[in-house]
Every structure is written in C-alpha cells, then in structure tokens.
Chain A
C-alpha cells in the first residue's frame, strides 16, 4: 500500500529544497551588525569575508562534486595578480578588475581542468598541487613584473563606483567584500540547488552510476571546476584591492590548505560550511596568535583534530546530530 503521507513528504522535500529559509538571513544580519559592533576589527572582517568566498569555491568542487584539490590557491593568486597588475599599471577601477580577475582565473581553470580532470584521487591531488607550485615559481621568477618575493607594490585602486574611497579604517573594504560575498552566495546557492548542482552531488556519490544514466561526467566536472576557479579568482582580487598589495603567498600551498581546513571545520558539501568554518578559524587564529604568538599553530591543529574526531561533518554536521538527538528525546 502506498501511504498518503510518505508521498507528499518526499516530493515536498524536493520541491521546497531551494526555498529560502529564515535562518539563511542570519549571516547577513551578523555581517551587517559586525560592521557597527567591531569598528576596530574591520580589516580582519574583510579577510574573513574574502576567506569565505575562497572556501566557497572549494566547497563547490570538493564538497559538491567530490573533486579533491590542494591547489585552489593557484586561482586565488591568479585573480590577485590580475587585479594587482591592473591597478599597478594604471587601471584601478575595482569592479571591472574584479571581473577581469574572475575571467583570468576561469580560463586558467578551464585549461588546467581540461587536462587534470581526466585523473582521479591521489593523482589529481598531486596535479592540483603541482599547478599551484608551478604558478608560484613562475610568479617568483618573473620578479620584474610581479615584484617576486618582495611582492607587487604601487597599486592604486580607485574608489568603488567612483564614490567610496578605500579608507584607513577598512570600512569601504569591509562593505565592498560583504557585497561581493553576497553576490557569490547568490550564485553558489543557485548552482547547488539547480539540476546541474544536484548532478554534481550525484557524481560525488557515485560516478559509475552517473555514467550509466547518461551523464556527461567529464563536462560537468570541468564546468564546476571553471566556475570555482572564477570564485577563487574574485576572492584573490578582493584581497589585492583591499590590501593594495600582492605577496607570493597568495599562490601558496598554505593558502590552499587553510581554505580546506576552514571548510572541513564548518562542514564540507554544505552551502554554509564556509560561513561557519572561516570565521571560526580566523577568529581563533587571531585570538591564539595574541595569547600565544609562538605556538598558535599548535592550538589550531588541536581544534582541527577535535573537529575531525568528534564532529565529522564539521560544526554544521554536529549541529545536525544534536538536532536529531533532541527530536528523538522529545
């Protein structure tokens, strides 16, 4: 017998999947309030917002499509240098530079993805790592253009929309990053709830079956890899524009790794994983670094071990578990 309740339940869950829930406003309320409550921490705030966009790009490929990578900084760095070089050579208009940075990173993602996405697992992991190493070394060697190890100097970024000057307190920088993150969130949200986004989840869950139902798996992986590269490029450009400086570090393995750690802390494969993991990691890092300037890495490591051992699925996964337990005891 088909029950009358199971049917609508399952169908409704899918039909309503993409509707905005009230709790999804929370990040924007908090982001807006933080601007007024912590005026002395806006520089850190902007870093966090940029980190969320970067982590979101990782979430799209790793969390949703199951593409493992240790080289996402390649695209972050490509975006940062694109915006940096434009501003250092007379084009300081920030919005068009942001678009250019996203485009450069996307092209890089498309070309490298077309080659490396034919591999899987450890091979793919190594290839992503190698691409970011190669780019970092290229940026180091091309010191006359990039400034090499000294970093790219002499950027002059014009006011946003010709009106909002980047100020010493980081007010414009913070709001600029918040606005861009909002657009990135809209785009990411649309992607993950679309049939395309669901098919990425299918690829992560079972690639053999996706082939068997006629899905062009390689093409889908390449599309999301390219989109995620653009996200990372935009994040990199934001960092360059708001700090008016680009260091080789933007291409570093450490940046790829930290992005991954923040995503794991928040919750992989969930739209709001980066929104939880990045602030938690970066605020903890800031606090630990002040309390223990030498060994703060140790405390970050301990935090990560605790998450991996006790909260698989990150903070959001833990929240889900608690909610389920509460419902059962009721």
Chain B
C-alpha cells in the first residue's frame, strides 16, 4: 500500500548551500511521526518543499501514491495535505469563526462564488462552529483573533487546518511560543485527533515528541541522520552527539 506521504531523493539548494539533500521519507497512513533536529537542520524547509511553498531542486513528492511534485500549493491541499505554522499565520482582523469558515469554504469549493452572500452558506458556518466546539474554543467564536492570547491562537491554527479535513497534517512546532502550563491543552487536542489522519510533527520540545510520536526521524544539516522508534532514537549515540553538542568532526 502506498504511503500517505512519500519523498524520494528530495533536494533543495540555495546556491551552493544544500538545505535538503536526498531526503527519502515515508509517512504511513495514520502515522504519529515526529521530525526533529537541531536549529537549521532544514525541518521547516522540508515542510515548505512538501507543501509546495518551495520548489525542490531534485526529487519527487508523492501524496497517497500520486506525484504532486509539479503541483501548486492549492492543488496539494485539495488532495488532502494541510499544515500549521510555527508562528501563528491567521487572519488576525477576522473573528475566530470566520478564520475557520475560510478553510471550509475552500474545501467545499464555494470560496470562489461571487453571486451568493457568504452568510447564506449555512453549511460552511455550521461546520466551522462544530470544529471550534471539538477543540473546546467555541466560546471564542465571535472574538477577533488578534484579541486572543497566543496560546488560544495556537488552537485556532489547528482549527483552521482541521477545517480542511486533511489526510496528511503537518504540524510545525504546534506548541511553540506557548507557556508550558498551557501546552498541555494543545497536546491533548493533538492526541485526540482522528486516527486516520497521518501526522508529521516538527518539534523542539523532547517531552512533547516522546509523548506524541510513535516514530521519529532525525534531520541534521539537510539529511536524514537516523529514523526509528522513540526508544531507538533515545538510545542512539549519534543522536545524543548532535543534541548534546559533542559532535566533533574527525
């Protein structure tokens, strides 16, 4: 069976700098997979290549077995790929409810409609509201995003992505910028996501990684260093070297 997401020989060069070199990666259906690595390892570049925000220099990207390497971002989203951002990337001047409505209108294919008023699309609004209820932030529905505390905005990030009903969800540091006292809510929400969504989580916080992931890939200097179960990764001396800063070139 084909993987939910697969990359083969994925490369990205900025001039002479290789930020992704020959990445062969598989994300199984329903996976809980973490991508970790030190700062500058190329984790966000990898996400941007997969979503189509960046064009790869070489290699292929497959979604559900289909080649999407040449497709623009919007087409990949239509095929079930969604992402959240490391730094909140929301419609700050709009209400929480309308933020989610945007995603749902696009998924239902009504967002380009110029004739009917948006308010007459009851199905869009109801689905958006239901999505907020599932994440426990329905109370914030009428508030403007910019009026919410940062941690709550992180949940809206998730709600917008979930509004797309993705098959593959890329979470770029979902708890970044949230005080540790509040990150628990975010972890709970991620844990409660439907099992058929394949999750790829980029994270710095190792507690969070070991709690959420059943499989971990370690990226160093744009290349995969090692992949394995959390136990294998925790015991791997090369990973310890990278993370404890003991790495010395021979």
Stretch at the interface among B86-94, B201-209, B219-227, B242-250: B86-94
Report Cα–Cα, A190/B120, bound state, in Å: 12
Report Cα–Cα, A190/B163, bound state, in Å: 26
Cβ-defined contact, A14 with B118, below 8 A:
yes
A residues less than 8 Å from B211 (CB atoms): none
B residues less than 8 Å from A196 (CB atoms): 111-114
Map CB proximity to A onto B94-105 as digits: 1 under 8 Å, 0 otherwise. Answer: 111110011101
B51 located at the interface, meaning its Cβ lies under 8 Å from any Cβ of chain A in the complex: yes
Cβ-defined contact, B138 with A193, below 8 A:
no
Please name the residue on chain B nearest to A209 by beta carbon: B89
B43 located at the interface, meaning its Cβ lies under 8 Å from any Cβ of chain A in the complex: no
B129 located at the interface, meaning its Cβ lies under 8 Å from any Cβ of chain A in the complex: yes
B residues less than 8 Å from A215 (CB atoms): 74, 102, 106, 111
**Number of interface residues, chain A, beta carbon within 8 A:** 41
Mostly, the B contact residues are helix
Report Cα–Cα, A7/B95, bound state, in Å: 12
Cβ-defined contact, A18 with B89, below 8 A:
no
**B102 contact from A18, A19, A191, A199, Cβ within 8 A:** A199
A13 located at the interface, meaning its Cβ lies under 8 Å from any Cβ of chain B in the complex: yes
Cβ-defined contact, B118 with A17, below 8 A:
yes
Cβ-defined contact, B73 with A194, below 8 A:
no
Known A211-B73, A223-B114; further 10 A-B contacts with Cβ < 8 A: A6-B142, A194-B115, A194-B117, A194-B118, A209-B160, A213-B77, A213-B102, A214-B77, A214-B106, A215-B106
Cβ-defined contact, A209 with B90, below 8 A:
yes
Cβ-defined contact, A213 with B138, below 8 A:
no
B119 located at the interface, meaning its Cβ lies under 8 Å from any Cβ of chain A in the complex: yes
A residues less than 8 Å from B97 (CB atoms): 10-11, 13-14
Cβ-defined contact, B125 with A212, below 8 A:
no
Size bin of chain B's contact surface: 35 or more
A61 to chain B, nearest CB (A): 15
Cβ-defined contact, B164 with A213, below 8 A:
yes
Cβ-defined contact, B129 with A7, below 8 A:
yes
A326 located at the interface, meaning its Cβ lies under 8 Å from any Cβ of chain B in the complex: no
Cβ-defined contact, A10 with B142, below 8 A:
yes
Please name the residue on chain B nearest to A211 by beta carbon: B73
Report Cα–Cα, A209/B163, bound state, in Å: 13
Cβ-defined contact, A197 with B85, below 8 A:
no
Cβ-defined contact, A15 with B122, below 8 A:
yes
A216 located at the interface, meaning its Cβ lies under 8 Å from any Cβ of chain B in the complex: yes
A314 to chain B, nearest CB (A): 15
Known contacts A10-B95, A205-B91, A209-B91; A198/B138 CB under 8 A: no
Please name the residue on chain B nearest to A189 by beta carbon: B117
Which residues of B line the A interface, CB within 8 A? Answer: 51, 53, 73-78, 82-83, 85, 89-98, 101-103, 105-107, 110-122, 124-126, 129, 133, 138-142, 160-161, 163-164
Q: Which of A247-280 contact B (CB under 8 A)?
A: none
A residues less than 8 Å from B120 (CB atoms): 15, 18
A residues less than 8 Å from B160 (CB atoms): 209, 213
B2 to chain A, nearest CB (A): 22
Known contacts A10-B97, A15-B122; A199/B89 CB under 8 A: no
A121 located at the interface, meaning its Cβ lies under 8 Å from any Cβ of chain B in the complex: no
Report Cα–Cα, A7/B106, bound state, in Å: 23
Cβ-defined contact, B125 with A199, below 8 A:
no
A-B contact pairs, 19 of them (CB 8 A): A10-B141, A16-B119, A190-B114, A190-B115, A195-B113, A195-B116, A198-B111, A199-B102, A199-B105, A199-B111, A199-B112, A201-B94, A209-B90, A209-B91, A211-B74, A212-B73, A213-B160, A214-B106, A215-B102
Cβ-defined contact, A213 with B142, below 8 A:
no
Cβ-defined contact, B53 with A194, below 8 A:
no
**A195 contact from B93, B105, B139, Cβ within 8 A:** B105
A residues less than 8 Å from B126 (CB atoms): 11
Q: Which of A9, A18, A190, A211 has the most CB of B within 10 A?
A: A211
Report Cα–Cα, A213/B140, bound state, in Å: 21
A202 located at the interface, meaning its Cβ lies under 8 Å from any Cβ of chain B in the complex: yes
B residues less than 8 Å from A212 (CB atoms): 51, 73, 77, 82-83, 85, 89, 161
Cβ-defined contact, A18 with B118, below 8 A:
yes
